[in-house]
Amino acid sequence: MEENAKLDTLQTLELADGVSIRLRVSGPILRGLAYALDLMIRLVIFIAAVVIISYLDFAVGDKVAQGIYLLIWFALDWFYPIVFEVGKHGATPGKLMLGLRVVQVSGAPITLGQAVIRNFMRFIDSMPFFTYGFGLASCVASQRFQRLGDLAAGTLVIYHRMPKAVQMPTPPPLAAVQVPVALSRDELFALAMFRDRASLWSEARRIEIANQATELTGAEGVTGMNRLLGMAHWTHRQTTHRQ
Amino acid sequence: MQLETITAVLRPRTEWEAVDMGFAMIRRDFWTVWLAWLLTMLPMTAVLVWLLWDSYPMLMMMIFWWGKSAGSRIVLYVISRRLFGENPSWRSILLEIPKAWTRRFFYRFLWARFSPWQPVTMPVGELEGLRGKNYQSRVRQLLMRGESTAFTLYSLAELLSVWIAFALLGLAIMLIPEGQLNWREIWVENYDPSTPFTIPLPILQGIALAMMISFSLTDIFLSGAGFGVYLNNRTWLEGWDVELAFRKMNGRLAKGIGFCLVCLFVFGAPTVQAEDQRTASEVIAEVKSHPDFKVHKVVQRVPISNQDEKPKKSHAWVKFLAQYADLLKGILLVLAIGLAVWLIWKFRHLLQRPIALDSTASHATSGQHLTIMGMDTNRASLPDNIPAAAWTFWSQGNHHAALALLYRGAISRIIEQTHAEIRESDTEGDCVRRANDIGAEAHPQFFQNLTEKWIAFAYADQLPDETSIRSMCEQWPYEKSSEKRRRL
C-alpha cells in the first residue's frame, strides 16, 4: 500500500506467470527531441524527393509535380510514424536514436490499429497550430506521460536502451560469508547494489550504510561492512553458480 | 534528513529518468506549486505592469524573466518538503515568499542567476545551505554526473518558454470568436509608417503576457526537473536507496526474530490444546447452524389451468397441419438424410484414419499416434537410417533439420519399439518422463540428453556443439536394437 503510494516514474506490471516487470516510461523532453529528429529526417527525404522530381519536371509538368510533392508530404506526415512503429523496433528512427520505443500499456509491442490511432491523433495533439501544446499538456498531466494519442490507443513510450551499468571494481572481500537468514528479492537486490556501488562511496559512507544492516551482520563498523561485502559476494556467487 | 518518510521511490536512475521524476513530483502538487509561484511573483508583476505595461512591455517581460528565480526557490521549498513527507501549510509558504526575494539577493539574483546549471545547483545552496568553498566542491561533485543533461534541460526550457507562449497565443486565436479580435486589423490600425521596424504596442503586450504565463509554467517544471536530477545524483553518490533498503531489512529482521519468539510461546504452551476439548462433530454442527449455511430452496409450480380451452384453440392448427402431414414427413426425412450425409462428410477424417493406418501399418504398434507436439512421427515420414541422415543435414549446415530429425526420430522409435503411450498432448518433459518410466528399453539417458539439446535449440536458439551431435549420432541406440530384433 505505502509502497504504491510513493511516486515513481516506472510502471510495474505483473505478467501472467507472476513475474513483475518494470516499464521505464519516458517523459516529454526526450520524446520532443525524438520528434524533432524525425521531422529533420522527413524533411531531408522530402527535399531529396523534390530535387529528383524537379529534374523530371519536363516529363510530368508543373501542376502534376506540385501534386506529387503534396502527396509525398502527406504520406510522410501521416504514415511515416505508423510504418516504423509497427515495425521490428517499435520506434521511428528518431526514437530509435534516443533509445525510446512505443509499447502497449501491457508492455507488448503495439498493433497496427494502435499505431494508426496513436498517430492519427497527432492531429489533435499538435493543436494549437502545430505547436503540440495539447500533446505536451496531456503528456505532463497524465500519470504515465501519455499524450492524447497514447491515451486513445492505450500505448506508452518507454526507454528501451539499458543504462550503462557502473562497473567499478570493488576490492574482493577477504572471505565469502553465508547469509544466515532468507532474504527477499528486494533485499538481495540492495545487497548486490551495495557491492556494485561500494567503490563510488567513501570508506566512511560505506561503513555508515553497512551500519544500517546490523541485524544481518551482527557487527558495526569495519567488521560489519566487511561481513556485508562478504555476504554480497556469497549471494553473487550463489546466483552465478546456479545459472 | 528522514529517509524513511520519503514519498518517492529512490533508485539510481538515468539522467532523463531523473528529469521525468522531477516532472512527476511537480505534477503531484501542480496546483499548490503553481499558485505558490504566482503568489511569489505577484508583487513584482504588479509593480512592473504599473510601470511598464504601456511603454515597454518587452522590458517588463525581461525583468519578469530575471526575477523568476524567486519563484524557483518557492517551488523548491514546496516540493522538497513534500518529498520528505511534510505538507507545508499555506502560512509557511506565504512566510517563505519574502525570504525567497531577499535571502542572499546578490548571489542568487546577480551572480548565479545566469548559470545554466542553476536548476540543479540551486538545491545545494537552498536546501543544504552551503556557501563558498564547500558549495563549490559540492557542486563540482554533483555535476560530474549529468552535467550535459542539466545544460540541455536549461536551454530547452528557455526555448520551450517561447514555444509555449506561441502555443498560448495560438490557442487564444483559436478560441476567440471570429471578428472579435483580428490581429491583422490591430496591426494595421497601430502601424506607424514613420517607424517601419517597430511592432505595434498591443501586439507586443500580447506577446509579453503570453511569455509571462509561459515562464510560470516552464519555470516550475524546470525547477522540478533540476531537483529530480539533484536527487538522483545524490542517490548515486550517497547510496540513499541502499541505505533505505538496509534500514527496512533491519526492521524486518528485528521484527521477524520477535515474531518467532511469540510463536514459540503461543504454540508451545499446553494450555492451547487443553482448551479445545469439544469433538469435531460438535464444532461442525455449531458452525453449520450459522444462518449462512442454511439451504434455501426455491420451488416453482406451474399453475394448472382449465384444460378445455387449449385444445379448442390449437384444434384448427392441428387440422391444418394434418392436411400436410405427408408433406411434412417427407421434408423431415429429407432433412434427416441431409444431416446424416453432412455429418459423414464433416467427420470423414474419422473414417479415413484407420484406412490410412492400415496401409502403412507394417508396424502395428506405431498406429496409435501420428503427430506429437505437431511433429509427424510416422515411420514412413522418417528415413531408415536416422543418425546418418541427421549427420548429413548437420554437416550441410542445416542444424535445425538435423536436431529436429534426431528428436522426432527418437520419439518415433520409442513409440515403435517400446509401445510407449505418448499422447498428442504430451510436452517434451512428459516424453522424457514416459521414457524414464519404461526404463532401459527406451534409453532414457540418451533421450533426456537429446531432449535438453533440442529444447535449448528450439526455445533458446542455443546451438549445441558439434561433438555432442556427433556422439549422439554415433551412439544412436534405437536402430541397433531394432536391427537386432529383426535378426532375431
- Using one digit for the tens of pLDDT, what is the confidence trace for B43-93? 999 999 998 888 888 899 999 999 899 999 999 999 999 888 888 889 999
Query: What is the nearest CA distance from A27 to chain B, expressed in angstroms?
Result: 5
pLDDT value of residue B210: 92
Phi, psi (rounded to 5 degrees) for A235: -65, -35
Q: Which of A111, A136, A119 is nearest to A42 (CA)?
A: A119
Q: At what angle do helices B147-175 and A133-141 cross, to 10 degrees?
A: 120
User: Rounded to whole angstroms, how far apart are CA atoms B84 and B135?
Assistant: 23
Chain A residues whose beta carbon lies within 8 Å of the beta carbon of residue B25:
7
Q: Which alpha helices (DSSP H) does A56-111 contain, by range?
A: 57-60, 62-86, 93-97
Supply the ipTM of this predicted assembly.
Answer: 0.87
Rounded mean pLDDT of B402-417?
A: 84
Q: What residue ranges do the domains of chain A occupy?
A: 24-159, 167-237
Residue A146's Cβ-side half-sphere holds a number of Cα atoms within 13 Å equal to: 20
Is residue B156 pLDDT above 50, yes or no? Answer: yes
Which tens digit of pLDDT belongs to each residue from A93-105?
Answer: 999 999 899 999 8
Is residue B215 pLDDT above 90, yes or no? Answer: yes
Chain A residues whose beta carbon lies within 8 Å of the beta carbon of residue B14:
159, 163
Prior bond to A128 cis, omega within 30?
A: yes
**Nearest by CB: B9 against A6, A26, A189:** A6
pLDDT confidence tier of residue B353, bands split at 50, 70 and 90? low
Hunting for cell 473414417 — which residue is that?
A: B351
Chain A residues whose beta carbon lies within 8 Å of the beta carbon of residue B243:
208-209, 212
Optimal mutation site among B246, B248, B252, B260, interface A, most CBs of chain A within 10 A? B246
User: Rounded to whole angstroms, how far apart are CA atoms A49 and A125?
Assistant: 28
Phi, psi (rounded to 5 degrees) for A213: -115, 35
Cβ of B376 under 8 Å from any chain A Cβ?
no
| Cβ-based burial of B16 (10 A; exposed 0-12, middle 13-18, buried ≥19) | buried
Contact A190, B246 (CB under 8 A): yes
Chain B residues whose beta carbon lies within 8 Å of the beta carbon of residue A133:
164, 167-168, 170-171
The amino acid at B355: I
Which tens digit of pLDDT belongs to each residue from B169-194?
Answer: 888 888 877 766 677 777 777 777 77
CA A30 to chain centre: 10
Is residue B259 pLDDT above 60, yes or no? Answer: no
What are the CA-CA distances from residue B487 to residues B385, B387, B388, B481, B484 (Å)?
17, 20, 21, 10, 5
Contact B367, B361 (CB under 8 A): yes
Residue window 427-446, chain B: list those with CB within 8 Å of chain A. Answer: none
3-state secondary structure of B75: helix
Query: What is the nearest CA distance from B113 to chain A, expressed in angstroms?
Result: 23
What are the CA-CA distances from residue B341 to residues B1, B344, B347, B351 (Å)?
84, 5, 10, 13
Contact B20, A158 (CB under 8 A): no
**Sign of the CA dihedral with B468 first, then B474, B477, and B479 last:** positive
- CA B308-B312-B316 angle, 5° bins: 165
Which tens digit of pLDDT belongs to each residue from A157-188?
Answer: 998 887 776 666 666 666 778 887 888 888 88
Chain B residues whose beta carbon lies within 8 Å of the beta carbon of residue A132:
167
Q: Which residues contact B370 (CB under 8 A, 6 or more apart)?
A: B376, B377, B378
pLDDT value of residue B487: 42
Q: Which position has the higher pLDDT, B355 or A137?
A: A137
Pairs from B263-272 (Cβ < 8 Å, separation ≥ 24): none
CA dihedral of B73, B75, B77, B79, whole degrees rounded to 10: -150
**Cell digits for B184?**
491583422
User: Rounded to whole angstroms, how far apart are CA atoms A134 and A142?
Assistant: 12
Rounded mean pLDDT of B332-348?
A: 92
